Amino acid sequence: MRFTSMKITKYIIVPLALFCVVVLFVYFTLFHANPSGPLSQNAWHATILLLGHERAGKVLDYSIADMGLGERHGREHLFAAQLYKIYGHETWELCTQMFGSRNSSGCQHEVIGRIALNSNGENLIKDLLRRCHEVYSSRSWLLCEHSVGHGLMSASSYGIQGLEDALKNCDELVEDRGCYGGVFMEYFLRRMINDGGPPMLRTDENTYLTCNSIEDRYLDSCIFWQAKWWYAESAQTQTPPEAVKVAANLCRNFETSSKKREICIASTGHSASSAYDRSVDGSYSLCSEVWISEEEQDVCALYAGRRLHRNMGSEATQMCNFMQGIEEGQCHTDIKRKSYLNEPPYHDEV
């Protein structure tokens, strides 16, 4: 009897206890730890290996079900980074199978950048773009070219020269400004090089340095993502609304009514919608708090509404009830319009 009890303990109870410990550890790290920290990344890696990509994808879906679009997008990025470490280029097909063409699209976004980073020639990138356009026809410009920009930047050094090289590669390989946005987002926020970790540290010396150093034709994208960087870097230590205020204060150093200032204000609107995800009232209140003039408040609110429209659909047009300087019908059209191709800085929205 004692021998049997020892066997039960050795072969059933101990393994079961260890399994429970592992499950609890994975649960804590996936749902409660810093999502971009090493614990969470290792937990996703282990979950994919243990459960397979399909079941792990369902765990991801469960963990992000109640999150806003921006946070879901970011979590899918982190998940895909671990998928790619296991499956390599095959991850593109897995993302397409698991997540389709849904709006958050972080998995596809990440893997396109990873493939571009690890590509040995332009033919592979162009073939990937063709396949991407076939799957994501209505949003392919935003998703596909922007993602390649991330990969091209990751393949370069993260200095001004590396940035310029990545932008020139965009011109040669992609021929679309959406690629510029991906390059600048990666340069400032370091999403791929740090596996979703912290953005570039901001100092007094580098706050405006990048956009003061590049060619004018890249300036719209640079200004937009420079202001997003101010927000993201500040949000590491402050609440999201306070981080928006930091970015807005830095935008005020651009001349009033200038194009640079307008793009910078638009970027703060994009960030305001992140600070109050799924809240039209909260986003508008923040825009009206950080900008004084009615015109600037409307620019901020319009861009917050455009981003919220991706998450909330037509409910986002409630933003028009607050805006004074834009006729209501035109406001509805502007918030709903997908004009990424033609109107900077719309092409940089993610």
Q: Dig out the tokens for 270 from the structure.
A: 């994009």
What's the CA gap between 42 and 30, in Å, rounded? 9
Q: Which of 43-57, 103-117, 177-191 shows the lowest mean pLDDT across its residues?
A: 103-117
Instruction: With H, G, I as helix, E, B as strand and everything else as coil, classify residue 198.
Output: coil
CA dihedral 44, 151, 183, 81 (to 10 degrees): 0
Which residue stretches of 146-279 are H helix? 146-154, 160-173, 178-189, 209-213, 219-234, 240-251, 259-275
Range picked from 40-54, 206-220, 319-333 for highest mean pLDDT: 206-220
CA distances from 176 to 32, 180, 211 (A): 39, 8, 19
What per-residue confidence (pLDDT) applies to 328?
Answer: 81
- pLDDT (average), residues 252-259: 94
What's the CA gap between 36 and 57, in Å, rounded? 17
Render pLDDT for 266-318 as a digit per residue (tens, 0 to 9).
999 999 998 876 789 999 999 999 999 999 999 999 999 988 887 777 888 88
- pLDDT (average), residues 215-227: 94
In three-state form (DSSP H/G/I as H, E/B as E, the rest C), the secondary structure along 37-53 is CHHHHHHHHHHHHHHCH
Listed by start position, the domains of the chain span 33-197, 215-350
Nearest to 215 by CA among 249, 180, 244, 247: 180
What's the CA gap between 94 and 307, in Å, rounded? 27
Residue with tokens 């109050």: 276
What per-residue confidence (pLDDT) applies to 137?
Answer: 64
What per-residue confidence (pLDDT) applies to 234?
Answer: 96
Q: Dig out the tokens for 93 from the structure.
A: 């097909």
**pTM for this structure?**
0.79
In the predicted structure, residue 138 carries a pLDDT above the cut 60: no
